[in-house]
Structure 1
């Protein structure tokens, strides 16, 4: 019997991935029971031939070892984390089965922004000043000791949840109230998650991410992605451009710095998504995740180079040689996200025109008439996105901006909508 791939963390798009579903190879998803229920994942997984689901509280300590002893007969070919919160569990399972993986110690370092700062700073990698804070008073003390804007953020969450830039002492109380509200809805279990907050110096510079495929601690492939943010105090991504339209020297520097991060953490096998801010020519590490990049970045990479990065990742975690991996992109690709003012949606127009615009290969708008939009607080609050390819990174971004401009959303304040309904 063919050994199964064990996928930790349910991602709906994975069900349609030809790289994941190879002929004759079964796939087993592992997901938290609450998430399975809230996302109706069981019915979707059961509908996919060769696919199965095990419900397991994998966020909790010791659950990987308990899973190993409960399901020792599975004999998986690979343990593959697809979500941020799945990475320590998957790494520990890989250790128990003797399979390629990040390494449990490395996964724990990358999952915890405070530990990542501690370890990479000791390795000589530039970090912003950072301290754990337990109250608004701690934030004020940090700001008084470090003049200028700061970033308040959780040490252990994802998707910009609970993150805000604070520019004045008078903003601290409200920012604290905003940031400790960290509801991720259907994507996390119902039980409470530990709250640990960091205050960090704000680094003013250009933002990038590096996606790097790693085997036995050595890079096999890397890409630098350019990033744009929505204006405002919430650092939520507006666009990603692949590859980043930057000089080759900066590309190589960011690749080398990411290699230093994986070496510092002891990361062994898999893929990392490492975020950087470059100020005055110095890359400062923001965070580094030991899993696929989100926001469609992997799809952009696969089209811009082109490269079978998903399949190569799955092969590496099976201990098999990856597919041909190019060094340079042949074109460009971009994703552009959509947000709207806070209020009630009265009308949405131009989605079909945007979808049919030059270069667009994906367009999704999740907002509809009557929806009450509560504002942009994290990546989960973006209401649409579209992806394009172009002859170059600049061309891809131009086409993305032209396409998204076709989408028109009419919004009225909630109180005004209530009086006219």
Structure 2
């Protein structure tokens, strides 16, 4: 296939990544093809429009940021995002059964479908003040970068394609996904890439800020909520009853000791007991204690191995606590899988990634490659080319109330996304 019709992508900031990798040598043909693509009059006009319409892009950023989108309750932002897509002009647009927003812009002569997406949800709970505040050139608001910037970049791409009258060969799906963050567990992406879902041949995720990275590897994770229940009672009068909190403490100790061997060797692997709770008072044996645990690995085998170690440790601890008890009913155990994100990678050597590198260098950017936990995990795990890039600009403080954004090199990030999209979707013009 003409490499002008095969794509590329990059990574960015407000996502947890492994250390950036050095970039391998670049095939000069990719750079020549990207240069030819960027020189087409219609493409040049679209690149110019990214800058000319930047005020509109910033207005979209402010508006969408101030529409709260807490986990599992993204519908208000989704409704407005759908309206914006329709106002810009697409062939069709809809909200699917999971809450994802999709808009189709038909191509001129290909069965392929290229998707470009940002995620609608933020990590912030109901009631969070999402008012944008400005100090100098800096905008402060929860979620302004992660991932409202990605959504506005998606809108900007559609806007400049339409205004430049730039027709792609492949169909393009513009998407706002739900459930990317935390316990959302990529539910929007799992729905899109289910058996019988819409055709998507290549997936480009725009997540966060920045313009230098290429995330072509998915970081897998398993997350559990463990609940131990018992009869409960007075700390003095009922002493001898099994204690759910003691069982959890024992489980954490066993897990920490056993998991150490897995995390020292092989693909990078981590674990964390992030939350723990239970009980009613200092002088009461808890009737319930719980913890939430996160395990991650670059390799699926290591992820499965540490998961098995975790489950064995918890079951052993509860069994021993029941054996040790002097009175009362046994403890019960519930282990709920609350997060399952698959790992995988697209090799750096494949044309898809090499083109991404070429687009970056054409724009004067030296890219870095990395690994992250993003919407792209799902298609990557299924062997579908997918990469996550940033939406431009500078920012920090993701997942905190003090999150901020500066529109510095903001248009550069969108221009890069545009060339990546066009390299994959084609322009109807052969080189």
Structure 1 and Structure 2 fold alike (TM over 0.5): no
Q: TM-score, normalised by structure 1?
A: 0.27
Report which of the two structures shows the higher radius of gyration computed on alpha carbons: 2
